[in-house]
Structure 1
Amino acid sequence: MNRFIPENAETREFPAAAIVAYCYESKKGPAFVAYKGRQSKPCRFLAFADDERRETYLAELVKTETEMENCKRARRETAHDLSVGDILFSSWGYDQTNVDFYEVVRVPSARSAVVRQIKQATTASSSGNMAGVTVPNPGEFVPTAKESTRRAAGRHCLYGGNLSLTSLQKWDGKPKYVSWYA
């Protein structure tokens, strides 16, 4: 790694926060440069009026980053709790609401699932306002759809819907709202 480390700096490592701080005396007073993980650019590079302010700021930085790392760790360890045959959906769009349905075809691990897009039945609303509801047709796969492995994003949730821009959530059995143009 190509990091700037000041001369005569005291190295302080905080593994729980994934932070390495180099504390030193600069021309402006007590200072530190801190790096997160394997980054080569510092996440903080500051000078302070006195040692106490530097220590207070560094302690707060370590506390915040430790909390963030704990959240990341918990998210990575959360299992999806899905089984083969479960229906997932993603809702997306800008001026219109699109819904895609997927069926779980394999569960290789507690942290991933293999899904494939399935067909859906859409019913237009009686008011004729280019909107309606849609429900999945389990077991009826879209002919061009390929199986796709998705990582868990939490309980009953996977990353990556249409073009991997949305998350896939377990379908609650209720028709989903859709809208369209022409």
Structure 2
Amino acid sequence: MKTWIELIIKRIDTPTDAASVVLLRIVFGLLMFWEMTRYYYNGWIRELYVKPQFHFQYEWFQWLTPLPEVAMYLLFASLAMLSLMIALGLFYRISTLLFFLGYSYFFLIEHAIYNNHYYLICLLSFFLVLAPLNKSWSLDVLRGAVTHTDNLPALWLWIFRLHMGIVYFYGGIAKFDHDWLSGLATRKLLGEGN
């Protein structure tokens, strides 16, 4: 008789079709490209990071400060380029690592614009560094850097499912109040007021 730990290990090690998590890599990369270019085109880099003289900082990360203006623009341009490289699966390991570090830096230098989605992006990009999502539908396969496979251990699918589930679960709890249940929040979002 197998123990429950052996059953869990067997389950997460089971080969699973890689298509859904590889699609996650592609969509994540494209969405992050769009997100980084929005900061440039809307002037948010200057307005949120360069112009303010004071920045609200996270505890333990007070040593992180915004870069000079040109360097901040270069950071966002680099993140946009790295996003496309993630989507294409090109130099995947280094692209995901640099994206994770750069995005986490940008997240940690200003607490005032915190958004739970930004935190989720940090977590997802960290797990993208670890996950072998460049073994299918990637330029790394075409250039011979990795061997092609259509299957990955189920562990990677479950890690990403778990993180998305946690976000929606806690988002649901956060919205579970009188205003939300009565529909007031939805009416305000749609501009109907009372």
Fold similarity call, TM over 0.5: no
TM-score (norm 1): 0.25
Pick the structure with more strand per residue: 1
Pick the structure with more helix per residue: 2
Determine which structure has more spread, i.e. the larger CA radius of gyration.
1
Higher relative contact order (CA 8 A, sep 6+): 2
TM-score (norm 2): 0.24
